[in-house]
Amino acid sequence: MIEQLPKGKIVLAAIMDEGTVSMTSRAYRALESIGSAQCRSVGARSSWAIIGRKGAALGSVPEKTVLPKAGSAVVADTLQYFAPVGTLTSPRIGPAAAWRSVRAEAEVPQTGDLTLSLLGQRRNSSVWDTLRTGLAANRDHDIAAISARSYPYLQLCARFSSRDQQHSPRLSAWQVLHDPVPDLAVSPAFLSLSADSVLAGRPVVLNLGVFNIGLAAADSVSLTFSETAPGSGERLFSRVMLPKPLAADQSLTIDQLYTPGGKPGSRLLTIRIDGDNTINELSESNNTLTTRVQVVADTLKPEIAVTFDGRTLAAGDWVAAQPVILARLIDDSPLALSDTLRVNLLLDGERVPFSTPMLQLLPPPDTTAAALLKFMPQLHDGEHRLEILFADGSGNLAATAVEFGVAATIRLERVMNYPNPLRESTDFTFELTQAAEVRIRIYTVNGRLIRTLEGGTLGAGFNRLFWDGRDGDGDLLANGVYLYRVDAVSGSERTQVLEKCIVMR
């Protein structure tokens, strides 16, 4: 058996009881071929053991002989195993404005090989595609044909192989050359209004600072301005292009004229930079900001402030199937605040009479307070519209309308955190279609859980959870990209959304 073994094979041999009987010169030579230097001197009833290797020099392997009745012969050795293949994957690279080349520097023995594969992450997706395979080490590979628009992020994967399992390729460096991207940002800290309460038809000047905190200039970028009035959807009122390319670490100031019209009430103004998502950026979470302008009538009219379960809704928000809707009716005349003939509430176009127990008008406790209109309907699934009309004693009419939805299943929508990137802390914001138990788990990009935020039971619609930017041990996180998952559970239903945030101090 030993004679037929190939060179390098490991042979373990030992004597049990008596090992000298029937030994021949051929047998001794076979044992010597695995490195035994003691096999010919083993006496009757001696104990003997060896960890041999075919082709080893005499005496170069672990071997031991013990005289009769002197104990056991024990030898030990440690063997090292080298895998024939292995892989190494880089962190995510990008985003890029354009891809240029890829290269790996490595020492590759004659008995081994090292090749690269290039993976690309689809735009606005978590799907990774294999774009290149079999790229050799120690040479540049042109990847300019890969569209950075389609694949803003790449990842390198190196495959190591060793045919003798002794000499491995050694990767010393690898790189992907690409053009950097800008990072456009708008912030409430750099937005000012000439007035936050104006008469209908009077202009408001919005003074806005736009920043490029990225690594490259941004060109041909649009800035959009829209308004959301009570009872209506979002309406675009201006789209402008940046007047010039915005270099890295530069800013410019935009003045935008806004003239509110229509009925009085609060206007939600939304400003978006690159709202069409035409360019790659380091982060797109800092591209939107909102502010409010209160439009008042040119005569003193009553006011209406509506909340759903304690929240003020924007058009299209979600509410519970059995909400508590409160409307504060504000007017100079306390008499008007206690007269149900001056108040009309319509749900989906149908007037709700005060004779129903679900609708109550609670008069003000004194001449300075506001009346409270309390409405507790049972809503079916789907879209709804609530309208409230309130006329004061002078005939000035106040009206408000809210469009909202009621969902049969639980969903998470508009999940994001702000600010992003964050320095010290951030708020996770999201909308729930139903009340649910909410938990947010924060992970590293490698999938390690570092913090869990318990939100408890939250109501339908917009919600917010604060995070102090620290891990579970109370330590500040290092700069980088992190993942967070929002889980919502309502009874037997559950849903989750995965997003990213950036720590940049």
CATH superfamily, domain at 85-179: Galactose-binding domain-like (2.60.120.260)
Stretch(es) of the chain classified as CATH 2.60.120.260: 85-179
What is the widest separation between alpha-carbon atoms in the chain? 127
CATH superfamily, domain at 184-296: Immunoglobulins (2.60.40.10)
Number of H helices, E strands in the chain: 1, 34
Q: How many CB atoms are closer than 10 A to CB 426?
A: 23
Q: 316, 310, 307, 314: which is closest to 404 by C-alpha?
A: 316
How is the beta sheet containing 10-14 ordered, strand by strand? 10-14, 47-53, 63-66
Cα(156)–Cα(229) distance, integer angstroms: 49
pLDDT of the chain along its 505 residues, tens only? 999 999 999 999 999 889 988 899 999 999 999 999 999 999 999 999 999 999 999 999 999 999 999 999 999 998 877 789 999 999 999 999 999 999 999 999 999 999 999 999 998 889 999 999 999 999 999 999 999 999 999 999 999 999 988 888 999 999 999 999 999 999 999 999 999 998 765 789 999 999 999 999 999 899 999 999 888 889 999 999 998 899 999 999 999 999 886 677 899 999 999 988 889 999 989 999 999 999 876 566 788 999 998 888 888 888 888 899 999 988 755 545 677 888 999 999 999 999 999 999 887 766 555 788 999 999 999 999 999 998 875 567 889 999 999 988 899 999 999 999 999 999 999 999 988 999 999 999 999 999 999 999 998 888 999 999 999 999 999 999 999 999 999 988 999 999 999 999 8
Contact 238, 410 (CB under 8 A): no
Does the domain at 303-406 match CATH 3.40.50.720? Answer given as no
Stretch(es) of the chain classified as CATH 2.60.40.10: 184-296, 303-406
pTM for the whole structure:
0.44
Fold of the CATH domain 412-503: Immunoglobulin-like (2.60.40)
| Sequence-ordered list of residues with C-beta below 8 angstroms from that of 242, at least 6 positions apart, any chain | 210, 218, 219, 220, 221, 222, 223, 252
Query: Which pair of structure tokens corresponds to residue 405?
Result: 């939805």
Give pairs for 274-279: CB < 8 Å, separation 24+.
274/184, 274/218, 274/221, 274/222, 275/222, 275/224, 276/222, 277/124, 278/220, 278/221, 278/222, 279/97, 279/181, 279/182, 279/184, 279/218, 279/221
Stretch(es) of the chain classified as CATH 2.60.40.4070: 412-503
